Structure 1
Amino acid sequence: MNPHLSNNDMPPIDQPVVWEPADAEEALALKREHGANAVWVAGGTLLRTQWEGGIAAIPAHMIRLDTIEGMRSIIDETDYVQVGSLATLKQCGQHAALQQYANALYMACRHIAAPAVRNLATIGGNVASAVGDALPALLVHDASLLWIDGEHTPLHHEQAAVDWMEQVRIGRRSLHAVLLGIRFPKGPVISGHLPVQSSVAVESTPVDLSANAVSFWIDEHGERWRELCFFRKLGRREAFTPSLVTVAMRCWISESGELTRVRVAAGGGSGLAMRLLQCELMLEGRMYDATWLPELARVAAQEFSSYSDPFAEAPYRQQSAGNLLAAGLWESIRDMEEGR
């Protein structure tokens, strides 16, 4: 391990010692040694914001994760896409495999913070914060998280993102875990159907957050299903501000308009992201009809658990989540019908 100090052998009291572990096991050992006096750091963009805002104190020790090899890659495998936790938001927002197989995350990473922040901020930091805007996108893509955790047996393990969010919600999150990567399954998994993935990979995405369906499959009856996927963010200004609300949705829609394998999630601000299971049940197997979109907005607003702060009251965030969801679904299907 390599402790990095300033010009003096002994740093000032308010200047942390920065450790540079060679691997994840060494990072865990440092965390066990220094406990609550140490924090993980990679891009450091969220930590700096918290320190400058007085939300968190500057720690005595910072354990760098960006010195660990092999955690920046985005790997396109046969059945899944794996994203290293140190991949930057910019990387994720430019990668063709994510555009095709984890499109909500792809769009989220293109609209989190300002470009200068996206150049530094990592997907792992956004996720491990437990309040990052990328989390609703992970939930709708059935993502799993790859950990090395000193409190878990075995040390290396894979966990569904939705299960980890529940642990965070009930206060059972491990403080000695390093997020190594994120894994996204490819394509639908529906018993009795043989998916046929398209090879379409769009090179660019619209400036707005409109849906970008890039995959389809043919069921056993020969009916064609298309992927419908979108991400929406509401901020206090048009760009470069923390979100008030974020929503994401992913499903498959048949040529006749039936929705299946529906995933809906919401989060934003300092609130915890959550799957909206009642909305999913409402939509699963249903034929699309724009007349029931107000009902969907009401169900989402009632189900979404939010909070109040000086910028927005909880009812406003809840209503906004419902409106974003309904508008996103309407716009996505409209774009499909118009061939966009």
Structure 2
Amino acid sequence: MLTAQKIWSPTNLKEAWEIQNHIGIGEYCLVSGGTWLRTQWEANLREMSTNLISLEKIAEMQEVTEQLAFGKREIVIGAQVTLANCIESELMQTYLPSLVKACRRIAAPSIRNQATIGGNIYTAAGDTIPVFLIYEAKLRWFNGQTIETEPLEQWLITLQANQFKRDNRMLVGLTIEVEAQDDFSFFIKVGRRETFTASLVTVAGKGTVDNNGLFGSVLLAAGGGPVPARLSATELATCNRSGSTELFKSIYKSITTEFEATTDAFASAEYKKTVVANLLVSELFDRWEKNHLGGVTNVAGS
């Protein structure tokens, strides 16, 4: 028997909160772009709720803005901002080139015109997440009264610990501090095809390397495990050390030890570990070699 769906279209956060409280937990589904949800529904992996709360009319969730907070420059990205909007944003092209690259590598243009940053993050498996992790993004949640912030990394850790059970807070967007200048940043996606399938692994990194080959402020992240994650131990082993054969060998070993990969229908966990280690070491070596030999230093997002 067919069940009729009711679509709710709030125009602000308070209204959306009141609607979901009126309906009750478990009786509704928040819908952003809906591209990920649609694939779940069509594959019978998730039952469509009888109440769909569309967030597309909430204006404050659709903007990319720049602000000063405690004297530091921040980029604020609304959860309703589409992947296509990210690609076209001058602010992101200037300050977050690796995010722009990640968005370009997701799906087809028709999907990028509809899929949102909020949806990509909320899946806990989106290809943009490693980039947001290296920029230490903070999620902005509406709890019914105020906007509260939470580091993306902490949310992912807590979500996994809670067996991916989400609370009823509404993801409004995220903020990224962009005051520090990096010599390099990168994003790489490895999939079975260029853009139209889920990735096997994704990696992202950023940092500095001076003319003497000394690494500093290196942050690394990878997807292909239970959730995308920072590689904090590897970061610590890389920072304040000069490039050398011994260093790159130790980085490779650290990555294969630290990165928690998962086996799926297309690749084993060990294969994913190897790919991630090869990609990250190759990128770090390339950045070090260019500076060590007096080459180009400002290669962010290349």
Q: Which residue of 171, 182, 187 maps to 2:179?
A: 187
Which residue number in structure 1 is paired with residue 185 of structure 2?
229
AA at the equivalent of 1:179: L
Q: Which residue of 194, 203, 222 maps to 1:247?
A: 203
Q: Does 1:143 align with 2:137?
A: yes
AA at the equivalent of 1:309: D
Q: Which residue of 23, 26, 30 maps to 1:36?
A: 26
Which residue number in structure 2 is paired with residue 321 of structure 1?
276
Q: Does 1:300 align with 2:255?
A: yes
Q: Take 1:119 and 1:129, find their aligned partners in 2: how far apart are those partners?
A: 18
Q: Take 1:37 and 1:328, find their aligned partners in 2: how far apart are those partners?
A: 46
* Change over 3 Å in CA distance of 1:14–1:319 after alignment to 2: farther
Which residue number in structure 2 is paired with residue 124 of structure 1?
118
Checking the alignment, whether the CA contact within 8 Å between 1:21 and 1:68 is kept in structure 2 is: yes
Q: Which has the higher helix share?
A: 2
Alignment of 1:60-209 (within 5 A): 60-78=50-68, 79-150=73-144, 155-171=146-162, 174-188=166-180
Q: Take 1:149 and 1:335, find their aligned partners in 2: how far apart are those partners?
A: 47
Give the alignment's TM-score, normalised by structure 1. Answer: 0.79
* Change over 3 Å in CA distance of 1:332–1:39 after alignment to 2: farther
AA at the equivalent of 1:303: E
Q: Secondary structure at the match of 1:132?
A: coil
Checking the alignment, whether the CA contact within 8 Å between 2:8 and 2:54 is kept in structure 1 is: yes
Write out per-residue CA displacement over residues 296-336 of structure 1, whole angstroms, 9 at most, x where no aligned residue.
22321221112122111211112211112112223444566
Checking the alignment, whether the CA contact within 8 Å between 1:102 and 1:184 is kept in structure 2 is: no
* Change over 3 Å in CA distance of 1:148–1:232 after alignment to 2: same
Checking the alignment, whether the CA contact within 8 Å between 1:149 and 1:174 is kept in structure 2 is: no
Which residue number in structure 2 is paired with residue 200 of structure 1?
none
Runs of 4+ that moved beyond 6 A: none
Give the alignment's TM-score, normalised by structure 2. Answer: 0.88
Checking the alignment, whether the CA contact within 8 Å between 2:84 and 2:113 is kept in structure 1 is: yes
Checking the alignment, whether the CA contact within 8 Å between 1:230 and 1:332 is kept in structure 2 is: no
Structure 2 unaligned regions, length at least 5: none
Structure 1 window deviating more from structure 2 (103-112 vs 239-248): it is 103-112
AA at the equivalent of 1:155: T
Q: Does 1:23 align with 2:12?
A: yes
Q: Take 1:19 and 1:13, find their aligned partners in 2: how far apart are those partners?
A: 19
Q: Take 2:179 and 2:245, find their aligned partners in 1: how far apart are those partners?
A: 26
- Between Structure 1 and Structure 2, how many residues are aligned? 289
Checking the alignment, whether the CA contact within 8 Å between 1:142 and 1:184 is kept in structure 2 is: yes
AA at the equivalent of 1:228: F
1:37 CA displacement: 2.3
Checking the alignment, whether the CA contact within 8 Å between 1:301 and 1:320 is kept in structure 2 is: no
* Change over 3 Å in CA distance of 1:331–1:54 after alignment to 2: farther
Q: Take 2:62 and 2:246, find their aligned partners in 1: how far apart are those partners?
A: 45
Write out per-residue CA displacement over residues 16-54 of structure 1, whole angstroms, 9 at most, x where no aligned residue.
211111211222222232321211111111011111222
Checking the alignment, whether the CA contact within 8 Å between 1:148 and 1:155 is kept in structure 2 is: yes
Q: Secondary structure at the match of 1:97?
A: helix
Write out per-residue CA displacement over residues 188-215 of structure 1, whole angstroms, 9 at most, x where no aligned residue.
3xxxxxxxxxxxxxxxxxxxxxxxxxx4
Identity between Structure 1 and Structure 2 (%): 31
Q: Does 1:276 align with 2:231?
A: yes
Q: Secondary structure at the match of 2:124?
A: coil
RMSD: 2.1
Checking the alignment, whether the CA contact within 8 Å between 2:213 and 2:288 is kept in structure 1 is: no
